[in-house]
Chains A and B, each alone.
Chain A
Amino acid sequence: MNTNANPVWTLVLTFGVMSLFAVGGANAAIPEMHRIAVEVHHWMTDKQFADLYAISQLSPGPNVLIVTLIGYVVAGVAGALAATFAMCVPTAVFAYYVSRLLARKSRSRWPAIIQRALVPLSIGLMSASILVLAQTADRLLAALFTGAVAAAAFATRLNPFWMFLAGGILGFTGVI
């Protein structure tokens, strides 16, 4: 591989392709982002990746903007812009054309079949995201806290803010 290549183009190519394969949205693409950023290109450590995930969840805006953070780590402001647009433009253009196509002949049953077929794949990808992210915190108490949050969020409609606050406090005090 040519290591002298401008990293901005690597970002554009990486996220441009990922954009079209992110079945289930940004959270489904987390393992691929981790694989590329940590394992393939060594842009950051495991822990830094988890930090960026936390920041992206704390800030307003769509979850996909974790790519802005990754882009900035790789190539500053230019990287942040390149990664964001590469991840969002191809799929938005694709969505635009598909929506026009479907508006014309809406009697086909293929959209429903494809949709049904993709649901299990996107859940599998999101489950993989959980595993990849959970492995960045290699402590038993952290895993227990993660499980407790999942159970609480599943069983109640508690505002996520309180979960983040609890996580931040437990992290700061060194419990997890």
Chain B
Amino acid sequence: MPPDQPSPAIPAEGVPAAATQPPPGVIALFFAFAKMSLAGFGGVLYWARRAIVEQHRWLSADEFNETYALCHFLPGPNIVNLSMVFGARLKGIAGGLAAFTGLLVPPMLIMTLLAALYARYGEIDALRRILAGVSCAAVGMLGATVLRMMMPLLKRREVAGVVMLLLVFLAIGVARLPLVPVLLAAIPVSIAVTFLLQRKVSA
């Protein structure tokens, strides 16, 4: 479905834009997250924002950004964290579980089916060539995302940030070191540097 298609669920004009709706039940949460998870192409986040803020009005745009910012700096898949935190914010632990399972279980079943098909037909040459081409395109898309994320660092000339970025890239991408020790070293250093620089600015 093209993203710019108007949704019939958006209320008519005259309704105040900031108004949020009463929290949904756990079943509704499960199906809402299943729907945005399967809507798909182009990342779940886009559809999550659309469903939560525009369609159902469960959060205002600011509340959504706040929740997402938290889930973005926590480790792990952001959208999975978002489902849990958002669901729990609305309906406690049961709500968190409903959103979490709604987001993960339906696409996981599809993925398991695809994995079984790949195990059976993965050696077919034409399929492998197609997948190799798609893989190149997907890596290119990731490249564009990384460039977009890098721009603010470059614009603000954050030398320390760029150095940390390069060190992690070299350690993980070139030297192929294991993730855990690299981050156990890099996270405290990066936090200390950020803290000291911030103090210098405010002093």
> Footprint of B on A, CB under 8 Å?
17-23, 25-27, 29, 31-32, 35, 39, 47-48, 50-65, 68-69, 72-73, 77, 80-81, 84, 87-88, 90-96, 98-100, 102, 111, 113-134, 136-137, 142, 145-154, 159-161, 163-164, 166-172, 174, 176
**Residue numbers in B under 8 Å from A114 (CB-CB):** 73, 191
Q: Does B94 have its Cβ within 8 Å of any Cβ on chain A?
A: no
Q: Can you list 25 A-B contacts (CB < 8 A)? A: A21-B183, A31-B172, A51-B122, A53-B138, A60-B41, A61-B44, A61-B107, A61-B110, A62-B80, A62-B103, A69-B118, A73-B115, A80-B108, A92-B84, A94-B75, A96-B88, A96-B93, A126-B145, A137-B136, A146-B136, A149-B141, A154-B144, A168-B130, A171-B133, A171-B134
Q: Find out whether the CB atom of A22 lies under 8 angstroms from the CB atom of B114.
A: no
Of the 9-residue stretches B6-14, B21-29, B53-61, B192-200, which lies at the interface with chain A? B192-200
Nearest chain-B residue to A27 (Cβ)?
A: B142
**Residue numbers in B under 8 Å from A96 (CB-CB):** 84-85, 88, 93, 96
Interface string of B130-155 (1 = CB under 8 A from A): 11111111111111111111100100
- A136 vs B106: C-alpha distance in the bound complex, in angstroms? 30
Q: Find out whether the CB atom of A60 lies under 8 angstroms from the CB atom of B38.
A: yes
From 154 to 193 in chain B, residues with beta carbon under 8 angstroms from any chain A beta carbon are 158, 161-162, 164-169, 172-174, 176, 178-180, 183, 186-187, 190-191, 193
Q: Which 6 A-B pairs have the closest CB atoms?
A: A171-B133, A61-B107, A149-B140, A91-B76, A128-B173, A124-B168
**Interchain nearest-CB distance for A43 vs B (Å):** 12
**Residue numbers in B under 8 Å from A116 (CB-CB):** 194, 198
- A60 vs B83: C-alpha distance in the bound complex, in angstroms? 16
**Residue numbers in B under 8 Å from A54 (CB-CB):** 131-132, 134-135, 138
- A4 vs B179: C-alpha distance in the bound complex, in angstroms? 25
Q: Find out whether the CB atom of A22 lies under 8 angstroms from the CB atom of B76.
A: yes
**Residue numbers in B under 8 Å from A64 (CB-CB):** 76-77, 80
Q: Find out whether the CB atom of B164 lies under 8 angstroms from the CB atom of A120.
A: yes
Q: Find out whether the CB atom of A65 lies under 8 angstroms from the CB atom of B76.
A: no
Secondary structure at the A interface, as helix, strand, loop or mixed, is helix
Q: Find out whether the CB atom of B169 lies under 8 angstroms from the CB atom of A149.
A: no
Secondary structure at the B interface, as helix, strand, loop or mixed, is helix
**Interchain nearest-CB distance for A84 vs B (Å):** 5
**Interchain nearest-CB distance for B143 vs A (Å):** 3
Q: Find out whether the CB atom of A113 lies under 8 angstroms from the CB atom of B194.
A: yes
Q: Find out whether the CB atom of B112 lies under 8 angstroms from the CB atom of A80.
A: yes
> Footprint of A on B, CB under 8 Å?
2, 37-44, 67, 69-81, 83-85, 88-89, 93, 96, 100, 103-104, 106-108, 110-112, 114-116, 118-119, 122, 126, 128-150, 153, 158, 161-162, 164-169, 172-174, 176, 178-180, 183, 186-187, 190-191, 193-195, 198
- A62 vs B147: C-alpha distance in the bound complex, in angstroms? 21
**Residue numbers in A under 8 Å from B89 (CB-CB):** 99
- A126 vs B21: C-alpha distance in the bound complex, in angstroms? 37
- A130 vs B158: C-alpha distance in the bound complex, in angstroms? 22
Q: Find out whether the CB atom of A65 lies under 8 angstroms from the CB atom of B122.
A: no
**Residue numbers in A under 8 Å from B149 (CB-CB):** 119, 122-123, 126
Which of B83, B145, B169 gathers the greatest number of chain A CB atoms within 10 Å? B169
Q: Find out whether the CB atom of B133 lies under 8 angstroms from the CB atom of A72.
A: no
